[in-house]
Amino acid sequence: MTDSRRSAPVDLTPEEFAEAGHRLVDDIAELLRTLRDRPLATGESPEELRRHFDASEPLPEQGRAAAELLRSTTELLFEHSLYNGHPRFFGYISGAPAPIGMLGDLLGAAVNPNMGAWVLSPIASEIETQAVRWIADLVGFPAGGDGVLTSGGNVANMLGFWAARASRAGWDVRASGMTDADARPLRVYGAKGTHTWIHKATDLSGLGVDAMRWIDTETDGRVSVDGLRRAVEDDLEADARPMMVVGTGGSVSTGVVDDLPALRSLCDEYDLWFHVDGAYGAFAAASELAPDDLRALSEADSVALDPHKWLYAPLEAGCTLVRDPEALLAAFSYRPDYYYFQTEAKNYFERGVQNSRGFRALKVWLQLAQAGAAGYRSMISDDIELARRFHAVAAEHPELEALTQGLSITTYRYVPVDLRGREGEPEVAGYLNELNEAIQGRLERGGDAFVSNAVLGDVYALRMCIVNFRTTEDDVDLLADITVGEGRAADRDLRPDALRADTLRP
């Protein structure tokens, strides 16, 4: 240390920062330029990967020069990553990251506001408030409520859950938990396929996972409203306290949208909190291609959305919206005396589970400002149209079977021509499941296209989902060709003798 200047091992001079930063931005630009032509995954096994990066190496005693460290780390990441921004990444629900969002993360980290308290993040907190407002506007959620950005869909849903619990328990559940003299077993209702965040929410809040009533779905995959009513009635009869209904605004497997208007009516009838899990699908409410029922998310008490899915924000960014402007405060606010602020304003630490918070709002806000509402409407509609196109391509193809289509998710499978028409035979059905599981594995390792899976009753389906502004018609057409190529190869390897053409029954 000197009198005027301290030289810290983690610091960079502005000149060093500029040089390393420019180089990094150039490298990222090159990645974006070449992304389409790169393999989207390397297919390396954990053992192969560990040859390039040994996670067990101890922390070095002496550090390394930042510029060289950044260069070698960039190379490591570029050579060994899976790119969910690649135009033929169709797996799970991972949005392609928008370039301005990447830069937003850098800018946000440079200013580094602590988004817990307004006084520590004045302009940044205002930006979050506007980003949340814009999200609500985009999906048609009424102004006048409240909202907050979260790490992702799981936490966004949990905030809705805890707001429901505080509002509908009927006693001061925040103070006395489940031990209050008036406490009753709280009950939650949703379709059988409701996303697994509900396990964590019921478990961690002390309700227990058994508090969740998993309601059967109709043949169209939507939650049975009659089944739901019966479950509520049964619980009332048993002196339990029905608390909330979770409607799905785009299911994770097939993009099914529940009958949200009917769920709202049922909630009104029984005074239940109505939460919509729109982590995947809520943004589609902005598109005229989405089912009308989805737009009834505007009637919900709370909605979870995921900007890191269909707003194409880099991970992480989720969002909770609530209709009642006091609902988040009523569920989360505590004001210890060490959080005394001279300026009273909107403090986000009182509106969720985080205390110190990062500036994830900046990337979301920048992206919304860059594309505008019209830009998002058109990108989301394009994604839906492309998934529909793929369904049509699969339906036409002699070796593919198109299965479900919902929002931007299409499920399908490979069926060898000579097994067509025999899918119902137990031996063939079992083999088709094995075959398609193998195809998915081959796609995952091959690096040309990436799909995940859905289980539809007894059928193992391939599942493609588009939340990617780079995907084109050519990419979805190519996915059909790539699947068929892998399907033929896997079929050659796996077909049991009993199902070979020469032994097939006539």
Ligand X SMILES: Cc1ncc(COP(=O)(O)O)c(C=O)c1O
Q: Is residue 246 within a helix (H) or strand (E), and if so which, with residue range?
A: strand 241-248
Dist CA 27 CA 505 (whole Å): 58
Binds ligand X (CB under 6 A): choice among 197, 310, 359, 412: 197
126 cis-preceded (ω within 30 degrees of 0): no
Q: Which token pair is 115? A: 């988004």
Residue 277 found at the interface with ligand X (CB under 6 A): yes
Instruction: Tell me which stretch binds ligand X (CB under 6 A): 150-158, 321-329, 359-367, 484-492.
Output: 150-158
CB 153 within 8 A of CB 306: yes
Q: Cβ of residue 244: shortest distance to ligand X, in angstroms?
A: 15
Order of strands, sheet of 459-465, starting from the edge strand that comes earlier in the sequence: 400-406, 409-414, 459-465, 452-456
279 forms part of the interface with ligand X (CB under 6 A): yes
CB 91 to ligand X: min, Å: 11
Residue 310 interacts with ligand X (CB under 6 A)?
Answer: no
SS3 content of the chain, % helix, strand, coil (to 5): 50, 15, 35
- Interface with ligand X includes 116 (CB under 6 A)? no
Candidates 153, 190, 242, 247; binder of ligand X (CB under 6 A) is 153
Q: Check binding of 152 to ligand X (CB under 6 A).
A: yes
**Residue 222 interacting with ligand X (CB under 6 A):** no
Q: Which residue has the tokens 């019209």?
A: 374
Stretch that binds ligand X, among 153-161, 335-343, 395-403, 488-496 (CB under 6 A): 153-161
Nearer to ligand X, 406 or 416 (CB): 406
Choose the stretch contacting ligand X; rule: CB under 6 A; options: 275-283, 447-455, 464-472, 497-505.
Answer: 275-283
Tell me which stretch binds ligand X (CB under 6 A): 2-10, 39-47, 149-157, 495-503: 149-157
Q: Which stretch binds ligand X (CB under 6 A): 7-15, 163-171, 277-285, 385-393?
A: 277-285
Size of the site for ligand X (CB under 6 A): 13
Q: Residue 296 or 499: which CB sits closer to ligand X?
A: 296
DSSP 294: G
- We find the least distance from the C-beta atom of residue 466 to ligand X, in angstroms, to be 14
Among 195, 213, 241, 463, binds ligand X (CB under 6 A): 195
- The region of 104-112, 121-129, 152-160, 161-169 touching ligand X under the rule CB under 6 A is 152-160
Residue 399, Cα to own-chain centre: how many angstroms? 31
Buried b / exposed e along 375-394 (16+ C-beta atoms within 10 A): ebbebbbbbbbbbbebbebb
| Binding flag, residue 318, ligand X (CB under 6 A) | yes
Interface with ligand X in residues 226-265 (CB under 6 A): 252
Report how far residue 212's alpha carbon sits from residue 451's, in angstroms, rounded to the nearest whole number. 30
Contact residue for ligand X among 20, 41, 93, 419 (CB under 6 A): 93
Near ligand X by CB under 6 A: residue from 90, 280, 390, 414 = 280
- Nearest Cα to Cα of residue 379 among 315, 309, 292: 309
Core vs surface per residue 310-341: b (16+ CB within 10 A) or e:
bbbbbbbbbbbbbbeeebbbebbeeeeeeeee
Question: What character string, x for contact with ligand X (CB under 6 A) and - otherwise, covers 34-73?
Answer: ----------------------------------------
Q: Which residue is nearest to ligand X (CB)?
A: 153
Tell me the C-alpha distance between 119 and 449, whole Å: 47
Strand segments (E) across 279-399? 302-305, 318-322
Q: Give me the DSSP letters along 159-225.
A: HHHHHHHHHHSSS-HHHHGGGSTT---EEEEEETT--THHHHHHHHTTS-GGGEEEE-B-TTSPBPH
* Residues in touch with ligand X (CB under 6 A): 93, 152-154, 157, 195, 197, 252, 277, 279-280, 306, 318
